[in-house]
Structure 1
Amino acid sequence: MSNAPIVIAGGGLAAAKAAQTLRDQGHEGDVVIVTGEPHRPYERPPLSKDYLRGEADRGAAFTIGEDWFEQNAELRTGEPATGLDPQTRRLALADGSTLDYAKLLIATGSSPRPLPIPGADLRGVHLLRTVDQADLLAAAIREADRVAIVGDGWIGMEVAASARQMGREVTVFGLGAQPLERVLGPEMGLVFGKLHTDHGVDLWRRTQVARILGEDGRAVGVETADGRRVAADVVLLAVGATPNAGLAVAGGLNLRERELGGGVAVDGTLRTSGADVWAAGDVASVPSPHFGRPIRVEHWQTAIDTGVHAAKAMLGDETPYDKLPYFFTDQYDLGMEYVGFVPGPGAYDEVVVSGSVESLEFAAFWVGGGRVLAGMAVNTWDRVGEIEALIRGGEADTEALQAFR
């Protein structure tokens, strides 16, 4: 099967960066990309921000032109892989055909987690993952007066900010004491909570949504577990995402335990348990040499970094992956960059703040076991390298962290 192509299953940023890297590294053989979406690979951060608000066109997401794919890869859109046989190095596709590969990259991403409550299938209830879903949601918000968002994670809060900037009334229902608490803990969750309430968002904390209310097949509101009701013309379900690991399951590849974030288990070169099969992006659970555990990250930078790394590994590079998780957000006039990793709200000892939380110009550091685990810069730019150095350094110096400017 020496003439078989390198195949990339997936149509997101990790897939695109892997394909680009294969060519940049001098690979001259065939490259085939198969994706279930009807579009060429694109990136997703604009979908909840400026693209959703109509402030950016599709070029904000489709950053790699069609001509690049025409010249460098065979792109099969609307043609997802549905089966995998690592023994024969063969993919099964949704149309019943098969595709042989020499090497395979699984970059199938993740999907919005469904919320199994009555009314979730009503018209006017939305999910947000793809550009087509963003188009539908944007059109619905433009026609709406009231938007309800179930879920107070990154997607939920970014869409809340966008909807408010579009002039809509917004209610957010979250299970925690503060929005983003699962990722940032209550201290910094409080900062984001105040940011949104200052901009007119109605935040419902520690609230379980029981059902979506409907009339004539269309959503008209949300009912909570304790019987309270809120009217809404549009409802976004944003309760997290699950890795699209079905291809790995079909191929009998090792998966990571759910308590470690799930996903496809890979080694330091992003190689899976299957011969000549790698994984990158949201679906991959990658060992972190620094944190001593596997981490699965659903963010833009990780898609880029792991896509690049996997492509190099497929060409023979054995260097272990050692990037620290990084992500960013833009909400109203707040821009934030975060680097590092904290498993949950109870996995650190304290948060050390430098700067002014009140004016939203500060840095925050999560400290545990005498070391910096993660850091966040809010409206303070070009500091990620310094924060990473503190994370990779020795014991945390509280006074030095407080003086960080």
Structure 2
Amino acid sequence: MRSHPITADLLRGLAELEPTDRGWLPHRLPARARAQCGDPQLAAVEAQPSGVRLAFRTRATAVELDLLRTRTILVGVPDRPDGMVDLLVDGRLTHQVTTTGGDVVRVDPATGLTESQRGSVGTVRFTGLSAQDKDIEIWLPHYERTEIAGLRTDDAITAAPPSGQQVWLHYGSSISQGSNAASPSTTWPAQAAALGGVELINLGLAGSAMLDPFVARTMRDTPADVLSIKTGINLVNGDVMRVRAFGPAVHGFLDTVRDGHPDSPFLVVGPLYCPIHENTPGPGAFDVAALATGQIRFIATGDPADTTRGRLTLSVIRDQLAEIMAARAVDDPHLYYLDGRDLYGPDDSAEHPLPDNLHPDASTHQIIGERFARLAFSEDAPLGR
């Protein structure tokens, strides 16, 4: 087997590649952005490489990848499935291997106490590939911090040439990152990108889609052909602002992105349907009764009456977004709005309920991805124009 250096030209969907004492860590936010927020949640999720993949051409029949994952385990509830690594050959998913080994962070959801345990590098192997020239994509786990410690093949590789597809830059919450999706290439944004024939850069940041200015500047400075943001749920379940702050925050975010992409098609997506927060403000919290039975569910702890004092709910946010987008569309003909309930609405909630009251399951990721591709990337749709 031949060893290959880990270089940025072999990777797509990331902002930076950081050397560590055990490998190379892909970041989805650049260092300047990371330095402007000390939130451990953001630091954890931006280093979970949702949408990040190695891409190269080769005749190799065997590929080995050494990965150092970091698993977050919630004490008292069933472990999340091991992370998955997807291998695509010429754009088609052909192999899937789970991650092993790695560091572990144990979190007690009842107390917030954490404990870290250092682990070892694990290896994922893909064998039985054809000996013909082919484009390989290896999608890294979407919810495990992942350092790349080594890459080996049984033949030469070259960085994949540009696909020629448009680059789609998307920002959103844990649903956009892929929470509860079966694998990294089957999150709803990954499926939408495949159906829409675009290259994905995924800034889905679980629990951290707060309209932060440093994310807006990251989007401003990232080369992209079409852009989208999905906003709402983290502002509510994080209880981070009121109506007075929301409107200016949306305007400021969009203004900053537009500084770098003044005429690019830009789609703003309102929140998906989520019964617990439709008319009840945050903050969101773990359902303690469910935790006692070994299950993860979320609840809304705010008072619906507080909406009269400016507290945000998903319904309030949709009303605000509709007004903001209608006003901005007058001067920005390439800015579009999509009600998130067109991707997942009340009827879907009845047929495909959110298992933990907050995140869709794997089959619903597929539904959302197919709908987004149709509503955003078809010929006459906002991002397909």
TM-score (norm 2): 0.23
Greater gyration radius: 1
TM-score (norm 1): 0.23
Larger RCO of the pair (alpha carbons < 8 Å, separation 6+): 2
